Each structure stands twice: as C-alpha cells, then as structure tokens.
Chains A and B, each alone.
Chain A
C-alpha cells in the first residue's frame, strides 16, 4: 500500500486554504464568498485529519466533526445574511454593503 507522505497532505490543505482566502478577497459575489469560506474550513479540517493520521490518533477526526458542525451553523447565519443583503440591495455584490465605512 502506497502511503501518501504527510507533507503532501499538508501542502494540499495549505493550497486549498490559500485558494479559499484568495476567493474571499477577490470574489464580489457573496455566495462565492461563503463558498470560499467553506473551502477554507475544509482545508483546515483536512490538515487536522492528516495530522491525526500521522500520529495515529482519533483526535484529528474528532476535530473535523467539530468543524463540520460549526460550518453548518456558519452557513445558516451566512445564508440568512445573503437573503438580507439581497432584500436590501437587490444585488449579491458584497461591496454594495459598505454603509459602515468610517
């Protein structure tokens, strides 16, 4: 059985996280922003799982369940915000909601 080296798993997690962060920064559509946040969450979950496998412990997978639950709750709030944004501005562009500037 070919084992994937730990470094590869962590690198994949890092790349995913970076892509997610990049997406949050550059995408203006709020749905994509949410999806990018999910990608970032899953990237960190992947890092946990890889680390748990490396040390032969279940903690990493337990941690992933926590992240999964948290992501579900976050999506609930996030989608509610998307609905509000759409209702108020008739757009999904996050930059339209910049009333709170200093």
Chain B
C-alpha cells in the first residue's frame, strides 16, 4: 500500500493538468468533478497509505519513496523523494481531506462565477503543491512545494482581478512572503554548503553531529529558516499580508489562508526541530514571537467589522499559539493544534462563506445579525467551530489542543510563566472575539434575509468538519481527564516529547484556569456585544476609545508604519533614480560614438574633387614625413 504514496500529490497535479488543458471543453459539472474528484481520490490514496502506515509501521517509523533523481551534478544530487513519517502522515491527511471538503463546497460556492474552471485549476495546483511540501523528503523539493503554494496563494487572492484592490492584495501577499522566502532560500543554501546534502533527515543528522548546541552556524541556519516560516505563517513582523489576503474567494481563505498553507511555517519548524533544538536563542525567539503575535492579533480581531478579517486575525493568533508550542519544545502539541485549527478554522470560513454568499457578498458583520433562525444548520456548525476556536472545555477539539500548548508553556524547560500568561490572555481574547462574531452575525435582530440556502455540496463539508471539530480532540486527552495519548505517542517517535516536570495537581489547576478563561470570554462577549452593546458604543465614542479602536482596526498600524518605513522610501528612491544613474555611463559611451560618427560623416561629402584633394594632401604629408 505504501507504494501508492506518489499518487497522493500526483493526482491533484493530474487534475490541474486536465483542467488547464481541457477545462474549456468541459461542462461546469465536469470541471467540478475533475477538480474536486482528483483531490478526493488523492485523499483516498492518502487514507489508504496512512492506514497501512499505522497498521504496520515500517522500520524506523519512516518510509522513503525515491521517484527519480532531480539533479545530478558533482556532489549535488537532490532527489524527487517522498518521505512518510508520523508528521507527514498527519499533514497529508489534513491537507487532502480538508482540501477535498473545501473543493466539494466550492462546487456550489463558486457556481455563479465565470472563472469556475480557473478556480478549480488553481486549487488543484495548490493542493498538489501543498502535498509536495508536506511529503517532501528533500529540502529542495520542499522549497519547490513552498514556492508552489505561494504562487497559488497569489493567483487565488487576486482571483477576482477585475477589482484593482484584489490585485494589490495579491501582490502584497506575494512580496511580503517573498521577504521570508528569500531568508529561507539563504538558509537552505547555508545548510547545503555546510552539510553537503539537501535530504532533510541526513541534514538533521549531520547538523547534530557537526554543530554543537548554540553554534553560530546552527543559530544562523535556524534563524534564516525561521524567517521563511514567519513570512508564510504570517507572524510578526511579516503578518500584514494575511488580513488583505481575504480579498480572495472564501473557500480560498478557508483552504490556503487558514487550514493549510499558512501553517506550512509550523510544519517547517517541526520538520527541522533538530536544528532548532541546536539553536536555543532562535527557539526562544520562536516562542516569544508566537506569544506576542497571538496577543497582537487577538486585540486586532476584537475591533474588526469584516467577518473575514476577524477570521484572518484569528488565524494569525492561532498560528501564534503553534509557534509558542514550537518555541517551548512541545512539537507534537503544535502539530495537534495545527490539525484541530485546520478543522475549526476552515469550518468557520465555510460557514462565513454561506452567510456572505447568502447576503450578496456582504462582509460587514454589523449588517448581518439574526441569521440564527434563517440558517439554522450553518448557525449550529458555526457555533461548534467558534466554541472549538474559543477552546470551550471538555466538548471541543480546540480545548485539548490549546490546553496541551498552555500546559507545555508552563511546564516545559524552555517555557516560562510569562509565556503561559500571554497564552492565557490570548485564550480569553480568542473567546471574546469569536463570540462577538457569533453574536453579531447570528443573534440580534434580522437585518437582511439570506437569498440562498446551503445545498448538499455545502452541507456535507460543514457537517463533516463539525464532527471533526468535536471528536478531533479525543486523540489526545491530558492525564487528568482520561489520559489518551494516541496522538503524542504517534508523533513522539519523530518529535521529542516536551519535558514535563509538574504534578498532576498543577496540571489540573492550569486546565481549570484555561477553561475558566475561555468561558469567561464568552460571557464577556455576551455582555458587551449582545446584552449591553451601548457600553461599547459609548466607550468607542470617547477620544481614547475611538483612537484605540482605530489602532486595532488597522492591525496596530503596521501597514501605516511599513508604508512610511519601507514602501515610501523605496518608491521615492525609485522615482529619484528614474533616469537610471548607473546607466548614464554606458549611455555616455554610446553618445561619444554617435558624436564621433557625426564628425567622421562630414568627410564623406560625395564630391570626387574633395576626395582627390584628400588623397593628394595625404600623399604630400606622407612624402613630407619620409623626406624630413
């Protein structure tokens, strides 16, 4: 069964090729069948491969499939090779299954769009690239997938290219992530030139043999890879592109900008965890960046009025949790949260998509409201997802994954009280802004009747993801609540377990505090946004309140600051150098030639007598020189 592994990324690529070459001749039904079907088949292949991996783990808990040699040049031989280990098992399952559900949903969501074929074409290319990324055994192949998903992200953010604002958002996403990608490419070259291979496992092995903990090379390489991860995963300071990326169609936001691509940075760090463990300062930076980002995005999400921007900031914040977990060495907790986040955040986006489509592309939550009765099924699934995002205790998957992160932040050697406190404050913020969104959208008075009910294509993914949001947490339950360790036992063969040195009593206390924080958040949201909304209104009407609201609405003014610090100086320099200062040298040479030519041209008068005179003069001068 494992031999089928190559089909997992190959099928979406095949779907992409079919749609790109013959998409115009297919009916809409055919396009959807090829687009979603190829990803569905890939999901089936992934399930088959992964179950056979689980049933009988291969030697060393890893399996490599070398497809062919990519490049063969003296000492440099990257292979097209797929590498299956517990981490890539989890990732490939999440990507292919969630990807299929979202594509299935898109069959209805995009039904009225003229770019139907183009959409499925790009989406298949994206899923193929993402699966290449998570299954790559070679760092160069991983980088190929990495750039592939970046390209698809660009294409899909700017999908509705008629509006120039969407094109700007797409360019912004591409350029900002490019800053991180450049760092990552440098890190890749650094690793290759110093360790002499690009195969990830061999790299990690050689790194731990050749570089001591905290050595300069290890720190530099880890820092450069972190740069790539920050750009892709929209963490501070490269987070500004993600809220604007919401310009794309909602299924794109669900798949690329919530469930899969933006978590590639988390995957990269988990994949290179040996390297990061060798560089304690960088790992510390990962934790601190994660903690600061989750608070930053939590506050920013509180002030948004566009439902998709709330979700975008929420994604930034949740990936901050994953970074926090990676930073304190709780690798499997990070992957666990990645998985549950993929479920509940894509479900939130899909639910928001139903609402947005129903209300004629209305994004403003203050123009929604009261949709609970109109869209009961959507409301229920949205509520489940929001509860999971807020980590409501015991019943939701998000609780188990977030609790694993918070308790690691407290207990692990690299953790600290401050990181835990930041995570806890973030948890409170998370449930406030998630339920603010729920209350504004689905409660209160009905402002606009939805013109569209979700069809079967939308209901199935919503229902499936809701189930996953609830039962997804049962694979990993902390000691105090039943001690199920399926997930961490599975991952711990490749990812070292987080060192815990606290008693069960402390664990339980931490869980109670986290649970209280999330329930408290719901109550605060109920009080502020449903029960007594006039409090908030009065407060935002004051000068300080209005300023803070504006600051949070603009995402703490990062765009403004970057515009002044980087964009405008660059534009100014480009304008100042419009005439290309360096080129003036080469241009001067050209002009010298032209002038010389013009001077010499004068001598060609066309008069025979003149030529004769020049000949005579030349003769006279020659004789004169000879004689004297």
| Alpha-carbon gap, A3 to B607, bound state (A) | 44
Q: Complex Cα distance A25/B610, Å? A: 7
**A44 sits at the interface (CB 8 A):** no
How far apart are the CA atoms of A94 and B605 in the complex, in Å?
12
Interface string of A21-46 (1 = CB under 8 A from B): 10011111000010000000000000
Question: Which of chain A's residues have a CB closer than 8 A to the CB of B601?
Answer: 102
- On whether the beta carbons of A101 and B604 are closer than 8 Å, the reply is yes
A102 to B603, CA, bound (A): 8
- Is B612 in the interface zone, CB < 8 Å from A? yes
Contact B606 A25 (CB under 8 A): no
The residue in chain B whose Cβ has the minimal distance to the Cβ of A18 is: B616
Contact check, B606 vs A99: say whether CB atoms are below 8 A apart. yes
In the complex, the answer to whether A24 meets B612 with C-beta atoms within 8 Å is yes
**Bound form: Cα–Cα A97–B601 in Å:** 17
Size category, A interface: 10 to 19
The answer to whether A102 and B608 touch (CB under 8 A), given A21-B616, A25-B616, is no
> Which A residues lie within 8 Å of B608 (CB)?
33, 94, 97
Whether B582 is near chain A, meaning CB under 8 Å from some CB there, is no
Kindly list chain A residues whose C-beta atoms are within 8 Å of the C-beta of B616.
21, 25
B contact residues around A26 at 8 Å (CB): 609
Chain A CB within 8 A of B602 CB: yes
Residue B1 at the chain A interface, CB threshold 8 Å: no
A-B contact count (CB 8 A): 37
Question: Are B606 and A100 in contact, with the CB atoms below 8 A?
Answer: yes
Min CB distance B617 to A, Å, is 10
**Inter-chain contact B609/A95, CB cutoff 8 Å:** yes
- Residue A98 at the B interface, CB < 8 A? yes
- In the complex, chain A residues whose CB is within 8 Å of the CB of B588: none
Contact B607 A95 (CB under 8 A): yes
List chain B residues, Cβ under 8 A from A94. Answer: 607-609
Residue of B nearest to A22 (CB): B616
Structural contact, B609 and A24, CB atoms closer than 8 A: yes
Q: Which of B154-172 contact A (CB under 8 A)?
A: none
B604: A residues at CB distance < 8 A: 100-102
Query: Of all chain A residues, which has the CB nearest B614?
Result: A25
Say whether A98 contacts B609, CB under 8 Å.
no
Q: How distant is the Cα of A94 from the Cα of B610 in the complex, in angstroms? A: 11
Chain B residues positioned under 8 Å from A101 (CB to CB): 604-607
* Nearest Cβ on chain B to A10's Cβ, whole angstroms: 14
Q: Is B613 an interface residue (CB 8 A)?
A: yes
Please tell me if the beta carbons of A102 and B602 are within 8 angstroms of each other in the complex.
yes
Name the residue of chain A whose CB is nearest to the CB of B601. Answer: A102
Interface residues as binary, B585-624 with A (CB distance below 8 Å gives 1, 0 otherwise): 0000000000000001111111111001100100000000
Q: What B residues does A98 contact at CB under 8 A?
A: 605-607
Q: Assess whether A25 is in contact with B612, with CB atoms less than 8 Å apart.
A: yes
Which of B600, B605, B608, B613 is the most central at the interface, judged by chain A CB atoms within 10 Å of its CB? B608
What is the distance, in angstroms, from A36's C-beta to the closest C-beta of chain B? Answer: 9
| Residues in B whose Cβ lies below 8 Å from that of A100 | 604, 606
Chain B residues near A24 (CB, 8 Å)? Answer: 609, 612
Residues of B within 8 A of A97 (CB): 606, 608
A25 to B613, CA, bound (A): 6
Q: Smallest CB–CB gap between B596 and chain A, Å?
A: 13
Given the complex, which residues of B lie within 8 Å of A99, measured CB to CB?
A: 606
Residue of A26, A27, A100, A101 contacting most chain B CB atoms (<10 Å): A101
Contacts A26-B609, A27-B609, A33-B609 known; list 9 others, CB within 8 Å. Answer: A25-B609, A25-B612, A28-B609, A33-B608, A94-B607, A95-B609, A97-B606, A101-B607, A102-B604
In the assembled complex, 21 residue pairs joining A and B whose CB atoms fall closer than 8 Å, in A order, are A21-B612, A21-B616, A24-B609, A25-B616, A33-B608, A94-B608, A94-B609, A95-B607, A97-B608, A98-B605, A98-B606, A100-B604, A101-B605, A101-B607, A102-B600, A102-B601, A102-B602, A102-B603, A102-B604, A102-B605, A102-B606
The 4 A-B pairs at the shortest CB distance, nearest first, are namely A102-B604, A101-B606, A98-B606, A102-B601
